[in-house]
Amino acid sequence: MEIYVVRSGDTVYQIARRYSTSMDDIIFANQLQDPNMLSVGQALIIPNNEARRTVGRGDTLHSIARRHDVSLQRLIAANPQIANPSRIYPGQTVVIPTDGRQMREITVNGYVTDAADSTLNATLPYLTFLSPFSYRSDMAGNLTPTFSLDITLSGGHRTANLLTLTNLLEAGGFSSQIAHAILTDQTVQDTFLENAEALLRQGGWYGVNVDFEYIYQFDRESYNQFLRRLTERMHRLGCIVVTALAPKLSDSQQGLLYSAHDYAFHGKTVDYVVLMTYEWGYTYGPAMAVAPINQVRRVLDYATQVMPAERILMGVPNYGYDWTLPFVQGTAARSLSNIDAVTLAGQVGASIQYDQAAQSPFFRYYDGDGRQHEVWFEDARSLRAKYALVSEYGLAGVSFWNLNNLFRTNFIVLESMFHVEKVL
């Protein structure tokens, strides 16, 4: 796999010829809705089994093999044109085989709030865990699913289902009061745990994924003790426990979203934690990258100091936003898929730019009423940069929010860098 950034005048036909691949393969990999409408700055996946790199000053085949996680023997075999493997020169082209790399196996979780069977079947091969979102609790500890999903689909792909438990209101939004009742009222907590266990005993679930948000600060220790009890009970059943945590920069970080999430306690108690490293750019905020890599790094820097890196699943967004400028407090951005973002750029004739600090693509355009817009989303480059953090920090893997919309590029990049663990 290679990533090509579209330049002025490029066509799919020309790009396919340049890389000795087919137009159909490029169209399929990138889900191009109109192959005749490419945008300058658009990142395209070029599916192939090798990449080419230009030798730089000081490079050796050994250093190149290490950099690309390929065995030296495999690299030499892929480059018969190099007469003496111990002597290569700046400017020389080296072929990097991508089908023989020694890749890490990682854990991959994906949330869905709604998804067609066709989308799930295309997605499940790349997941360790599927977390349907969600079973919500009421003030009495009763659990109700927010949507219907055929979890039997997962079995054919050896993907394990996680029962996702939340303190969501029926009308939407997280409820501090519901969380408080579950965490502090013994009767409510007992009912909650009994209902969760009853669902697990019905079969089809590998464990639970707890996403309690907007917990009162004074309920922090109650949340910890609830998790201790929940984890002991789930482990007796042979089930795992995963928790979702807000993106904190320190233990003392204030705010309803952060205070009750005790990173150190979660890290030593549950099996995995999902760090929700997204929503810097969000619906009611100003235009910016949804998951700027500089901010994600700050969260990981803190998290890996207080919890085992091998239990951390880094959150990765599978969506973007379209903001109307100038930003006015109280106005809402429009959520859109990564595919729709690229299609929109082509329709409005916008060039896609790439922010190096955030490692994220964006573009601006004017609508029919003369209003300026700014769109941030994810592409192959931003995803590759995020996945590199998994190796850099030694994380367990990643967790996607959410996988309702198929973004094939995402999985091609993921598969080019890692093997996905399967627990079934």
Q: Which residues are marked as active site? A: 213
Non-local CB neighbours of 5 within 8 Å, separated by 6+ positions: 41, 42, 43, 44, 354, 381
- Closest-CA residue to 96 (of 74, 63, 120, 126): 74
Which pair of tokens denotes residue 46? 């070029």
Distance CA 109, CA 118 (A): 18
Q: What is the C-alpha to C-alpha distance for residues 277 and 279, in angstroms, rounded to an integer? A: 7
Secondary structure letter of residue 159 according to DSSP? P
Strand-pairing partners, residue 157, are: none
Q: Which two tokens stand for residue 115?
A: 């998804």
Answer yes or no: are the C-beta atoms of 421 and 106 closer than 8 Å: yes
What's at 343, amino acid-wise?
T
d(CA 229, CA 359): 40
C-alpha span between 283 and 323 (Å, rounded): 8
CA nearest to 269, candidates 235, 302, 300, 298? 235
Query: With 0-12 CB in 10 A as exposed, 13-18 as middle and 19+ as buried, what is 108?
Result: buried
- In the chain, the largest separation of any two C-alpha atoms, in whole Å, equals 76
